[in-house]
Copies of this chain bind each other. A is one copy, B any other.
Amino acid sequence: MTNKSRFLNVPVEPFRIDPELRADELLQRMERISFQGRNLAIAHRVWQKMLDDDVTIFLGIAGALSAGGLRLIIAELIERRFVDCIVSTGANLYHDLHEARGRRHYLGSPQADDAALASERIDRVYDTYVDEEEFIDNDNWIAGFTRSLERRPFTSREFLYRLGGHLWETTGQDGILTAAYRANVPIFCPAIADSSIGMGVSQARQTMAGTGQIDVIGDIIESTNLVIRRPRTASIVLGGGTPKNFINQACVQAEFYSDRVDGHRYALQIVTDVPHYGGASGSTLDEAKSWGKLASDADQVTVHVDATIALPLLASALVRSAADRAVRRTRPQFEFHGREIRLDGVRFSSDVFEDRP
């Protein structure tokens, strides 16, 4: 077998049941099986490596994670600083706000009679229901908040920081927005106009013309500067979508202005889309290397599985296996003062791309 040794090195170790295993121990055993089980176990390792290294960890969240019951996991990941910067769809923030304001989502059925639901103004997200009338109140609340802001453009990052602060003061409830506010973790929402958050903002104009200017172009600059200033980065993506691309785009744009940037050092994506239709959500991490979104020697893994299975397992494992690493690690320190942002104590432009330091 001498000849073959370069391929046949580490045998598959059939998984043996031990009912007392915790999530991290389950995943440790899954490292030696195959297919997506192995990949989920590798994801656990890759995330641990991110925590051991001095990198800024981006987390992208797309798909109905908040409606689907994962918002408090993400809040805890923020609070414990397993992640440093969030890029989200608007929907995940809206459904987070909905629950922080004391409303609920409900268990439903994908075989529902949608005409009946419509007649009772209940909205369905696959197997989950929500009361549309409660949304109106959310929208009014967001519109009111928007009108309370100064009359100038806000990046989505600054807007969401202020929204999180207002939500925390009003409700004192845990959630993505409030945890990020309290931990000084920035949230970007580049596609905010494509969400109920954006709809609420737009309604502010009905009584106050010209209010609610969200400077999403400023978000590009700010996220890019974050990478220019701290060029070692990592990307964790749940579900693809605009967050996946926005996190990668920050690297590509940063490379235009700094030769110290050359792609994420680590990347982990949990997606259900596939590569062969050419869409960005399903694209491989290897493809990302061709663009310089990812370093050529990056530690990376893609897991093809629904986040509602992967994240409870992965986050439970991580809190057990790596809580101390999250405490010890060099966390990027953010401070937010109006439009201004400080990273590790140094001011950081949100209007002009930084020259390489």
Contact = CB atoms under 8 A, between A and B. Distances in A.
Interface string A272-285: 11111111110100
A104 B4 CA distance: 13
A213 interface: yes
Interface stretch (A27-35, A164-172, A178-186): A27-35
B22 A122 contact: no
B105 A239 contact: no
Contact of A8 (B131, B273, B287): B131
Given A17-B315, A118-B289, A67 B278 contact: yes
Contacts of A193: 190-191, 216-217, 219-220, 246
Q: How large is the interface on A (under 10, 10 to 19, 20 to 34, 35 or more residues)?
A: 35 or more
Contacts of A48: none
Interface stretch (A51-59, A228-236, A303-311): A303-311
Nearest to A37: B308
Contacts of A259: none
A325 to B, nearest CB: 13
A111 B324 CA distance: 35
Given A127-B34, A216-B192, A22 B24 contact: no
A69 B33 contact: yes
Contacts of A22: 19-22
A343 interface: no
B12 A107 contact: yes
B290 A114 contact: yes
A146 to B, nearest CB: 9
A278 B191 contact: no
B12 A286 contact: no
A191 to B, nearest CB: 4
Contact of A68 (B12, B18, B213): B12
Interface string A176-217: 000000000000001111111011011101100110111111
Nearest to A109: B7
A253 B202 contact: yes
A92 to B, nearest CB: 11
Contacts of A292: 118, 132
A71 B14 contact: yes
A107 B9 contact: yes
Interface of A: 1, 3-4, 7-24, 26, 29-30, 32-38, 40, 62-64, 67-73, 76, 91, 99, 104-108, 110-112, 114-115, 117-118, 120, 122-129, 131-132, 136, 139, 153, 190-196, 198-199, 201-203, 205-206, 209-210, 212-221, 224, 239, 241-242, 245-246, 249, 252-253, 256, 272-281, 283, 286-292, 296, 304-313, 315-317, 319-320, 323, 351-353
